């Protein structure tokens, strides 16, 4: 097992044992799983969503329901294989009834995401949805650039990490096209920005 795999496995063990999270009780009560992330541990592109939904919690896999099918289509539209990217969320356990993650939940789970970024060292972070956009932009000191996601989607922002320079690309959450199929083309157009990084 290589070092990255070992470090990511450690994160999984810590999240599994995270009794301090208010979502831990929900996980045990509903007999579901935390969703840590999946994909290449050497991915150039890392996708960060907000929190798992019902299908994700049932399987322990990120983006495996209707939103996941859209994400797969979007990746295919720019010739990116899902196994070559890394897909995760800020919050690793499902909020009840798929509600938005609360600030305190983001605070509890975000250190795990920070470690995942440091381990995988992606060149591009594509955020999926406004919660992950807001967290990632602030994490990398881009607070002043934050406006509404409908103004920022598909833009490229330069940032620095402890391992070098990185691009941050805010994108709509794939669920947008689940609820309104007429918007799928907008998401496909946004994904074209990733072609030069694959």
Domain CATH code at residue 29: 3.40.470.10
d(CA 116, CA 92): 12
Which residue segment(s) compose the domain that 163 sits in?
3-197
pLDDT of residue 185: 96
Instruction: Kindly report the pTM of this predicted structure.
Output: 0.97
User: Quick check: helix, strand or coil at residue 120?
Assistant: helix
In 10 A of CB 146, how many CB atoms? 16
Instruction: Name the packing angle between helices 3-16 and 103-120 (round to 10°).
Output: 160
pLDDT of residue 25: 93
pLDDT of residue 94: 97
Q: How far is CA 187 from the centre of its chain?
A: 16
Report yes or no: 118 and 127 within 8 Å, Cβ to Cβ: no
pLDDT of residue 62: 97
Following DSSP, what letter does each residue of 15-52 receive, concatenated?
HHT-TTSHHHHHHHHHT------EE-TT-SEEEEES--
Report yes or no: 142 and 168 within 8 Å, Cβ to Cβ: yes
**Each residue's pLDDT expressed in tens, for the chain with a length of 198 residues:** 689 999 999 999 999 999 999 999 999 999 999 999 999 999 999 999 999 999 999 999 999 999 999 999 999 999 999 999 999 999 999 999 889 999 999 999 999 999 999 999 999 999 999 999 999 999 999 999 999 999 999 999 999 999 999 999 999 999 999 999 999 999 999 999 999 998
pLDDT of residue 182: 93
Helix H or strand E segment including 158? strand 157-161
Paired residues of 48 in beta bridges: 88, 127
**Beta pairing, strands 124-128 & 157-161:** unpaired
Token pair listed for 72:
């797969």
How many independent structural domains does the chain possess? 1
């Amino acid at each position: 097992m290589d070092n990255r795999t070992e470090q990511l496995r450690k994160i999984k063990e810590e999240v599994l044992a995270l009794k301090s999270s208010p979502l831990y009780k929900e996980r045990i009560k509903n007999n579901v799983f935390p969703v840590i992330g999946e994909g290449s541990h050497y991915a150039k592109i890392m996708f960060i969503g907000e929190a798992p939904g019902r299908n994700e919690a049932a399987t322990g896999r990120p983006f495996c329901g209707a939103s996941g099918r859209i994400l797969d289509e979007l990746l295919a539209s720019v010739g990116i294989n899902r196994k070559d990217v890394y897909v995760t969320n800020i919050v690793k356990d499902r909020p009840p009834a798929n509600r938005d993650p609360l600030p305190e939940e983001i605070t509890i789970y975000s250190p795990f995401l920070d470690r995942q970024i440091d381990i995988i060292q992606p060149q591009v972070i594509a955020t999926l949805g406004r919660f992950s956009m807001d967290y990632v932009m602030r994490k990398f000191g881009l607070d002043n650039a934050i406006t509404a996601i409908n103004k920022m989607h598909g833009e490229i922002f330069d940032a620095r990490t402890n391992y070098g320079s990185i691009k941050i690309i805010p994108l709509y959450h794939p669920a947008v096209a689940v609820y309104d199929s007429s918007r799928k083309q907008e998401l496909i157009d946004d994904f074209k920005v990733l072609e030069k990084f694959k």
